[in-house]
A = this chain, B = another copy of it.
């Protein structure tokens, strides 16, 4: 996490008389690149680090403060840091090694959203776009067919 992000985080927390603690820094970092394995690992056991309960509670707090929002996809949800912390972007996600490649926002996507929103008289607030497939490295190995 960048110093700038940390300052922003501190500022938003301060508004509600909340402290920027180690646990909250950790929680924030989890949300920057929420990778299935690492997060499950942290949430599954009481690692010597920070208690699972604290992570859950800080996620809730972040949501109240608008630091993250919850986006339903199917009947699960994903948590997404608000644009103020992570400029909006998209992901290429490798099905094999689970690596995530960040890609910049694209005008064509924004235009698409504008078009269909007008069509359905819909007021867009957030969007999520993710491409799964095989990264450069994993295409070389077997199993990427």
Contact = CB atoms under 8 A, between A and B. Distances in A.
B129 A117 contact: no
Contact of A133 (B36, B106, B122, B139): B122
Nearest to A113: B131
B133 A124 contact: yes
Interface in A33-88: 34-36, 39-40, 71-80
A144 interface: yes
Contact of A92 (B79, B92, B94, B120): B120
Contacts of A74: 34, 77-80
The residue among A103, A111, A124 with the most chain B CB atoms within 10 A of its own CB is A103
A127 B108 CA distance: 16
A40 B109 contact: no
Interface residues of A, number: 49
Contacts of A39: 75
A71 B130 contact: yes
A127 B129 contact: yes
Given A34-B74, A75-B36, A112 B123 contact: no
A14 to B, nearest CB: 25
Given A36-B72, A108-B108, 6 more contacts: A40-B75, A72-B132, A92-B116, A123-B144, A124-B132, A128-B128
